Structure 1
Amino acid sequence: MSATPPDISRPATEQLDTLIERIGAVPLAEILRDLLEHSARALKVERVGYWSMESGGRAIRRELQFLLSEQRFDDELLHLEASSFPFYFKALHQGSNLVVSDDTMADPRLAEFQETYFRPLGISSMLDAPVHRHGRLFGVVCHEHVGEMRHWTATEVDFARYVAQWVALAVEIDGRQRAEIALRESEARYRMVMEHTPTPTVVLDLENNGRFLEANESAVRFYGVSRERLLSGGPADFSPEYQPDGRLSTESAREKIAAALDGEEPVFDWMHRGGDGRDIPCSVHLARMPGRKNPRIIAAVTDKTEQLRTEETMRRALENERELSELRSRFTAIVSHEFRTPLGVIMSAVELLRNYHDKLPVEHRVDLFEDIHAATRRMGDLMEQVLVLGGADAGKLAFTPELLDLEGLCAKLVDESLSATLHKCPIEHDFAPTLEGAIASESLLRHILSNLLSNAAKYSAEGSPVSFRVSRENREAVFTVSDRGIGIPSEDQSRLFEAFHRASNVADLPGSGLGLLITKRCVELHGGSIGFLSEAGEGTTFTVRLPVFG
């Protein structure tokens, strides 16, 4: 059961803004006390302390801690070495350096503290916000919650970050001369924080046509232009004319800036255009800078390119998973049918031969043996197709081009097709006399043409002629196979070359849905193309073009 999170109200943030106005006017220790106490009260956290980095990040030292229930500060110095707490220091130096833990006793990053520190003090949740200086980690504001575990909300995390930024500013200002700090205006403090954050951040001066007044180094790198070029323009100069939602960039920007001037802090998606002309999807957070009469807006920009790329990768992975699931279902259905039917034929024939062999006429026994042979061949053909397709997918389908007698091979394939289909359909063939010198892979050509001729006969009525023509156009051999069979319905044509997909009008005609996919793969290995024209009930014409002539 998690503890109920507190409400980080606007007065708490405004009170913090008022408190930080004292930075530079009072000693650092007093500012740290105010910030830690305010954070503890706003977040309702029992222990809030500030730790500074030492030894190049290999150690941290606790400077001060506020205890909420006792209403007092503990200034006892504690010192932690990375060698003794490797998991925690690794977490500090990775990613955004933010360590958010809802359950400290189960968090592997905090394993070194669990029995010696958390359990005795009853610390159940922890939120460590990094303090950056010149873009490097140099301290941590540690929030240690006592009691029931609590889930840190995004608002609480942002508030903790906000406090840590002001701690960074206080430490920075403490090292400067008091006279210089007294002369700076309130926006200089924002500028200091802005420079210390890795987030690209700019300040807009609305009295100067909304141009950029300040920009940190991250912003200069993000926009991909020089600082001088960046500060000579404004948002309109670094955005496309229209945003992805179709709105003009200038109109949309004015609307968001107006909302920020009214005290809101709009966060929205935006398309920026970098110095190289590349559009960059990002998220923008606007806020009005307090402390001045003239309106100025601070904008933090987050590049979303990697996030969107990751989302797209996940979307494609999900689509691939759905396609794979559908493919498995089709595979199971096709293979089950294509094996069950011939197995049934074989079992029935074997039973008759075993029980009635001597009583059956010789002609009947011959027919039964022919049935067994045909059924076995049907299963063998299916396995051969699966193995060929598997080889193609694994890149193991051999493409071994050689000089061959193209006309002789086509004639042989016609005879083989007639024999395999028991002369169901006559094949009218016409081979051009200019087919000499073809260089191709005979094994792949056999797959291509055998599948097309077999399908033409399979899906045509008995006796319906099949046309097979081979011609030459420059470097290409053009193979055309036409039939007058059942044709392909228009709704199936877009999926004709998918694995295990069969047209909706094939009825009980045998087939695996792999032949045309294998044909297409073999055509692609030749660097050729395959297309078709078909209409349900009117027949089909396949055309294959292969660059086999030099």
Structure 2
Amino acid sequence: MVVATWANGGMVLSDELHMISAMGGALTGLPGIGDCLDQHGIVLGVHLDRDGFHECAAKRPLPELILLDALSPEGDGLEDCRRLKGNVVTRDIPVIILVSPQDEQTKIAGFAAGAVDCVSNLVSAAELVARFKRHIELAAAQARLQRRNEQLETALASMGQGVCLFDESGRLLLSNNRYAEVYGLDPAVIHPGQSLEDILNLRLEVGAVPATSTSDYLAWAEATNMGDVPQDWIKELKSGRIIRGYHQRTPEGGWVSTHEDITKAWFAEKALAEAHAQAERAEQEARAAHARLLAAFEVVPEGLVLFDAEDRFVLWNRRYEQLYAESGDMLAKGMRFEDRLRAGLERGQYPEAVGREDEWLEERLAHHAAPTSNHEQRLPGNRWIRIEERRISEGGSVGIRVDITDLKMQEASFRLLFEGNPMPMWVYDRETLKFLHVNQAAIDHYGYRLEQFVTMTLRDIQVPQDAARATAAVFDAEDPAATTCSSRHLKADGGAIEVTVYSTCLNYKGKAAALMAVADVTEAKRAEKALLQHRDTLEEMVRSRTVELARQTEELERMLEQEKHINELQRQFVSMASHEFRTPLAVIDGAAQRLIRRKEAATPEFLAEKTDQIRSSVSRMLELMESILAAGRLDHGRITIVPKPCSIAEIIETCSARQESIRRSHRFLLELDRIPETIYGDRPALDQVFSNLFSNAVKYAPDSPNVHVTGWQEGESVCITVRDEGIGIDADDLPKMFQRYFRARSSTGIAGTGIGLNLVKQIVELHGGTIEVVSSRGNGTTFTLRIPIGAEMSDELRVAG
């Protein structure tokens, strides 16, 4: 036990923290007081210094009771009581004053001074200790009641609903600020003592009443408030708000009610009810669409295959199986790609790997591991396929197999036609006139070796007098139609021959080239009259063959272009369907299915949860589409920045409110008092900047609900920081954060395109501003924007690109 000493002969009852102050020897006159106090575990200490007593009484922990003697010779006990009650620290400590039994005036003065009890100085020790304990219990009960009142006031202030309590006469007893705010009133105008009609008149001024007369509304309110059965009602106000209320009578005859603004929820429930009515039909349509998607996947003429991050088979179509029928083992989900290749090698699936299996396997796996690859592969039966593969952001890959056997056969036929043609033919570069390839007939007829031909140009075989005219004729042949001209060529032995040249344009290994067929008409010229008919026939035959060759070339190029276009569309389709849109669509589909299954027993909380899931997924898809479209518009110069006076604070508040309505788990803490009221900027573009930043702050901080947005003016610029407390970014990823399609390692498992921050940076720079990022792994991320305030470009347009 702890013993402390007080003034005026006062004594402290420690252990239970009781305090007694006795003047002089007042307690010594009570027989048995010592034993009685000892029995209750009370130790007394005596201190004669009066100021020391008051100083100790104010120290914590505070005593639970103080005993004063009104007739103490050391000082006036009543004055001590008034002094204790005048101190904010000790004023709530109960005080008992010992008085003379016949002294009524002192008793009255003691109660006036703030004492809780005035006890005769002749009282027995047992009664005095009993009074001590009783008043201590009463003081503890009052303290608990005060704490509960404070807790009640705190709870009322923090409630999202408006709460009011009226007495039996219809007067307001208490209300929280939200009660006034629900009806668009200043909380300061609502105070206890007002009648319901007084408050209704205040609401009438701001249109926060239903579209009925005041008397009708008061009659309805009285009937609702006076009913014994709790009432739950919904009213639409003239201002357009929808208010839900709950009334219940109190035992004393008054009533308590809650008031909640459910405008958004009301319209959301109406939309949800409409969606609920269509859910069954939507489910059927969704299932039918899913079946059509799978059917479309199967009817694609190319082989399609999808691998996971560990190169295991996930999905493929029947055409893929048919192309690799010789591999033997049936494909199964989870089978490793390398295992499939090894099975094919054992069964002769890949003729080009025979004798070099290990080397071929290494090369094939290297192609497969590349971010993108495109190569051709020969299969048994002289079949050929083109393989196109692309890695996706989740770590897997998608592959397309195109059967190009017919194309290879056409190419072989073209090569055979070229190599085996009896007419001299060659392909030359239309820009440099250098020979690119010649056939055997040209080598035999002109006498140059192949090695010589490929080092020469078309001018080297021209007779000098005809070189300029021939070159001009060549350069005039710009369209792909066949052209014909006469010329004189030099053979390797120096002899000149007269030739007729048939030429057509084509693309040869990525170069602008021409195919030329040469007919030696030297002998025909010498015997022109005798062989005129034969020459005409020969020329017609050559012309026909050349036109057919041109037609075949055109058809080949057209087929190649068509195939490239189809392949590109397929890659885009598979990449998009398997990546960004699959997850939100699955969430929407799952939410819709659960709504259907529980449509009869769905609670408002369940419907709200599923609505939030659907809205969040739709919002994600809209963000993806808007980011992709905006990036495309920037790339093609179709985004125009039109600086106009606008409030950047209003833009930030709108974007944060929109994000909070989508992601109810987060809140935005705005500090925008130090930014200018108006800057010059493009409001829609800045809205897109902050929408992207706020969406990222929520998405990459799933377990940290606070997002801090701070703004200030710095010189001629306004500065805005957006800080989250999320997963953060690795230091070596920070320099790449604004690159197109780049995603940090810390974002693994979180959906995204890598477009948003690049778009934000371009829009900020188009405003003449800058953006910086500071972050570390696990410590959140801060983006800082600096945008000029001034209007130096207010009469001009900033145009992307």
TM tier, smaller: 0.3 to 0.5
Q: Which has the higher contact order (CA 8 A, sep 6+)?
A: 1
Q: TM-score, normalised by structure 2?
A: 0.30
In terms of Rg, which structure is larger? 2
Q: TM-score, normalised by structure 1?
A: 0.42
